[in-house]
Structure formats: structure tokens, C-alpha cells
Structure 1
């Protein structure tokens, strides 16, 4: 392998993948934004271990900082979401990197991981530790109704089983039976994974933190970080 080819292969394994250009993004549809992002990552970077992370709680009111939807920098750009969704990527294992580098050992970066949140004001992508500390502040000091729980789902399970007919985005117009979307819908058909048994399972199987469904559920930030590391290690 010539020097230029080696450098390119090395960077592909130790630096996080960039967002695709153009980004597939629709405001208000974070679950679909992450779905499309993970579909691209799985195709282009199969050695990376990728997860969808759903953030919510029983009251559907989680405090999330550094959000572009907030116009108040004094508050730390705080938004209270009913739920939010991000992508979490872990680098290839050391064995994968050594093989790609033609037997030359690369620095061990297995403890570093990156979070992709297209609604965040933080660096894109952002190191996981930095993102978690700045996005979910002072959790123990918050009232329980504002604290975040996390459902961590492998990219494969998410892409195969997720379905949304976008009905959760509909509301009545005034006192009539007419319905309208609270945010403009994405410019493509609703998503239904190849193994999805229903047309809509977003709220019941992914956002609901009490459901025994896909992935694992962490009750706080520390637990989420530990669980994600464990899942990434198992998937190597």
C-alpha cells in the first residue's frame, strides 16, 4: 500500500464519518433523520458499530440542552422534548483497524465514540462524553419529570423493525375533525422497515421506556454510557 492509500485507509478507521452531503433532514422528524443517517452509515462504513438512541421518560417531557430549536442562549438553549433521537457510533475494533492498515497497529481509540444530533448546536459529530455532559445537564438536580431515560437500539434492529406512518404528528384543526401536521412532512414516503409488522410502532416500541421491546433501556446518562460501551463490545 502506498503512503497516500495508507493514510486514507487509516483516517477512515480513526476519524468519525462525516455527515452525508446533502443531509437528509426534516425538522420535527428526528427519528426519520436518524434512520436515514444510519442507513447510509451501515452501507458505507460497515465496520463501525452504530446505534439509534431514543430519549424520553414516562411523562414525555425530557430536558435537553444545546438544541437549535431554542432561541434562548441564556438558558443554554434548553428545549423540553416529548422525545428525541440521536445516532451513536463506535469505531471499528482494533482487529478491524489492523487488518485495514495491512498489519500495522494503529492507536487504540475503542473508548472514543461519537454522537450525531442534527438538532444540536454542538460540534457535528460530537464526542459522546462531551455531548452527554452538555446536553443532559444536572440530571440528579432535576425533577423526575424532566430526567431522561435512553433506549439504545442497534442500527440493524432499527433499520429492520422501525415503522412510522407519521400519525403522531397530526392534530385537530380547532374544534373540527379536520387534521393537519404540526410540522411539514419529509419529502419521501413514510418509513416501514422490512420486518415491521405494523405501519406505526414509533411510540409503542421505541419511545416508550417501559415497553419490553427493541434494544436496552438506561435510566440515566451514566448507565446509558456504560450500556452503549457494552453493546458496542458485544457487536465487535
Structure 2
């Protein structure tokens, strides 16, 4: 369970606790990296620095069991491999927990469902790389920005 702030379903300054949460990170070469989060109250897109300060915040005051990890999957790998039959969105009796998206389920020629491989934080499973929150911010913001996030005082 992962806390994340500045979410549309949140109340005030309380975090939303997600089982998992998916955002798009556009890594900037000449400019700031941008986060596209469809559930955020922050600007769309949002600079990674602002998102880190206000939505991710720090793990410092969070129980160690809830420290965040992030799986970063390159877009081409995600588009080629991701599949979800939406079974995770159904109750045991087959009814929907929440209305599903209007677009059809996503699948590949080889697979109907591999969501768990994408949301697993086991680095030996799935695609991409798994980072602790601190290592993710260090990698994508750099050391100087890490100080801002740490002083600002976060799954799916």
C-alpha cells in the first residue's frame, strides 16, 4: 500500500493509499522532466520537481513498510509487452469494483494478463528497473534536487 499526495480522490492534505499507481515520466534532455498523472490535482503535465515535492514527498515520516519503490519501464517495452484482461477490477462474484475504462482491454499476441509483472517491486520480475524513492529521485532529478525533496517532507 503506497501513499501519494495531491490526488483527485484525496481529502485535504491526506494521502491516497494506492495498491499501485501508474504515471508517465517524460525525461527531459534539454528541459525539466515531466510527469503525466491522470489522477493528480497538480498541473498536467507537471514538472518532476514539483511532483516530487508535493505528490511523492519524502519517505522520512512514513513507516518503513510503506516506503515507496518505483518500477521504471521504457515506453517501447511497455507498449510491446503490457497486457491486462481487467480481472483485477472484478469482485469475486464477477461484478465490477469500479466501472472499467471504455476502451477494450490491452493484450499482446502472446499474453492476455501480465499486470502483476509490471507492478511487482521484485527486480527479478517483469520489465524495466526498480528503484527506491531516493534512488529514483537521484537518478531523474540529480543530487541538487534531492535536497529540495528531502526538505519538503507515498501504491498501488
TM-score by length of 1: 0.56
Cα distance in 2 between the residues matched to 1:81 and 1:122: 17
Unmatched segments (≥5 aa) in structure 1: 1-60, 94-107, 173-177, 231-236
How far off its partner does 1:179 sit? 1.5
* C-alpha distance after superposition, 1:180-233 (max 9, x if no partner): 111111112210145xx3211111x1101015220000012x311344479xxx
Post-superposition, which runs of at least 4 consecutive aligned residues in structure 1 deviate over 2 A?
A: 225-230
* 1:77 Cα deviation from its structure 2 partner: 4.2
- Counting helix residues as a fraction of each chain, which structure ranks higher? 1
Q: 2:56 aligns with which of 112, 136, 139?
A: 136
Shift of 1:137: 2.2
Question: CA distance change for structure 1 residues 144 and 226 in 2, over 3 Å: closer, same or farther?
Answer: same
- Kept in 2, the 8 Å contact 1:218–1:227? The answer is no
Q: Is the aligned partner of 1:158 residue 2:78?
A: yes
- Report what 2:6 is aligned to: 66
Q: Show structure 2 runs of 5+ residues with no match.
A: 143-156
Bigger Rg over Cα? 1
Deviations 1:62-95 (A, max 9, x none): 010000012x21xx1410011000000023x5xx
Larger RCO (CA within 8 A; separation ≥ 6):
2
Aligned partner of 1:83 among 8, 13, 20: 20
1:37-48 equivalences under 5 Å are: none
Aligned-partner Cα distance in 2 for 1:84–1:225: 17
TM-score of the superposed pair, with normalisation by structure 2: 0.82
* Candidates 29, 42, 48, aligned match of 1:122: 42
CA RMSD between the two structures: 1.8
Aligned residues: 141
